């Protein structure tokens, strides 16, 4: 699933191609992708809208239009492609935005798990699904005191807690492993046992890991076709996730399952005290 760095990469790329273009027509081929509108409502409301800007909230991508905000979650396999209108549509392209310059933005989703919401301008942050999303990693409100309060009473592994989007927005499975490794915290440590110092280390590690991942285009992102050849290179920098030997101490990497998610850690660097 695309995490914060991948969605940020998609956002920056779509900004480059789409800002200022007008949506002439929208065709929805798989209506279940549209979460809070009917197929007809979604298609009609977007006709004539101009794409003014983009933003991101956690793992959510936001299109800021003339009168609406389009909120998109890629889930497992969602991707956006820029294509010519003359190019044949494939069976996995479920939403097609025909643009004023003759190009098309196509949403492709092999597993059909992605979702799109359309809100009147200015309302998207007050409504689900974004209303309950936690702080961004770089928010000044994300402090050790905030995390300590959120962690209080949570008798679940910290790995599971880091995936809770209502606490810190945008962290997924891959980056949770890398963050805990950098913070020298065992993934099975009970969340309620973390100290303020641990919370500070998590915040610092989160910002460092995600900033580096963004600078390298994420890990496995393939969300658009680009003549620039931009794609995720951060997988080359992973220190524990999907690794066999620790890149720091050469100790064997352990793989376990935590909350149904594959979890990697170094038993030497991340001792469970």
pLDDT in tens, 135-184: 999 999 999 999 999 999 999 999 999 999 999 999 999 999 999 999 99
* Structural domain span for residue 22: 4-126
How many helices (H) and strands (E) the chain has is answered by: 6, 10
Rounded to whole angstroms, the Cα distance separating 198 from 59 reads 25
Residue 71 in any domain: the answer is yes
pLDDT in tens, 123-143: 999 999 999 999 999 999 999
- Please, which residues bridge with residue 252 across strands? 245
Residue 60 in any domain: the answer is yes
Same domain, 40 and 113: yes
Residues forming the active site: 2-3, 59, 261
Same domain, 118 and 51: yes
**Which band of pLDDT confidence, cut at 50, 70 and 90, is reported for residue 233?**
low
**Which band of pLDDT confidence, cut at 50, 70 and 90, is reported for residue 219?**
low
Residue 135 in any domain: the answer is no
- Report how many domains make up the chain: 2
* Closest listed residue to residue 200, CA positions, set 186, 169, 179, 214: 179
**Which band of pLDDT confidence, cut at 50, 70 and 90, is reported for residue 237?**
confident
Residue 116, pLDDT score: 98
Residue 108 in any domain: the answer is yes
**Beta strand residue intervals within the chain, DSSP E:** 23-28, 51-57, 60-65, 68-73, 78-84, 93-99, 103-109, 115-120, 253-258, 261-266
- Please, which residues bridge with residue 27 across strands? 96
Same domain, 110 and 189: no
Mean pLDDT of 252-264: 97
**Which band of pLDDT confidence, cut at 50, 70 and 90, is reported for residue 218?**
confident
On whether the CB atoms of residues 167 and 134 are closer than 8 A, the answer is yes
Same domain, 150 and 245: yes
Domain edge (last residue) among 126, 161, 180: 126
**Per-position DSSP letters for 107-167, written without gaps between them:** EEESS---EEEEEETT-GGGSTTTTT--B-TT-TT--HHHHHHHHTT--SBHHHHHT-TTT
- Please, which residues bridge with residue 26 across strands? 97
Same domain, 156 and 88: no
């Amino acid at each position: 699933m695309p995490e914060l760095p991948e969605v940020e990469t998609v956002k920056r790329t779509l900004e480059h191609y789409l800002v200022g273009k007008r949506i002439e027509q929208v065709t929805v081929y798989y209506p279940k992708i549209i979460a809070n509108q009917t197929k007809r409502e979604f298609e009609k409301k977007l006709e004539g809208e101009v794409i003014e800007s983009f933003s991101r909230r956690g793992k959510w991508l936001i299109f800021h239009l003339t009168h609406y905000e389009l909120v998109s979650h890629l889930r497992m396999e969602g991707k956006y492609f820029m294509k010519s209108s003359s190019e044949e549509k494939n069976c996995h392209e479920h939403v097609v935005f025909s643009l004023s310059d003759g190009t098309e933005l196509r949403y492709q989703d092999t597993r059909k798990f992605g979702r799109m919401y359309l809100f009147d301008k200015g309302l998207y942050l007050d409504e689900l699904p974004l209303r309950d999303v936690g702080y961004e990693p770089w928010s000044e409100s994300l402090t050790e005191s905030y995390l300590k309060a959120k962690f209080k009473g949570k008798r679940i592994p910290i790995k599971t807690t880091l995936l809770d989007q209502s606490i810190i927005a945008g962290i997924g499975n891959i980056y949770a492993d890398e963050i805990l490794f950098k913070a020298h915290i065992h993934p099975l440590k009970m969340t309620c046992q973390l100290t303020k110092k641990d919370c500070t280390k998590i915040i610092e590690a989160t910002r460092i890991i995600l900033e580096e991942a963004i600078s390298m285009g994420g890990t496995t992102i393939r969300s658009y076709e680009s003549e620039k050849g931009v794609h995720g290179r951060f997988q080359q920098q992973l220190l524990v996730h999907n690794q066999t030997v620790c890149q720091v101490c050469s100790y064997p990497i352990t793989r376990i399952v935590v909350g149904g998610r594959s979890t990697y850690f170094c038993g030497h660097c991340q001792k469970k005290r």
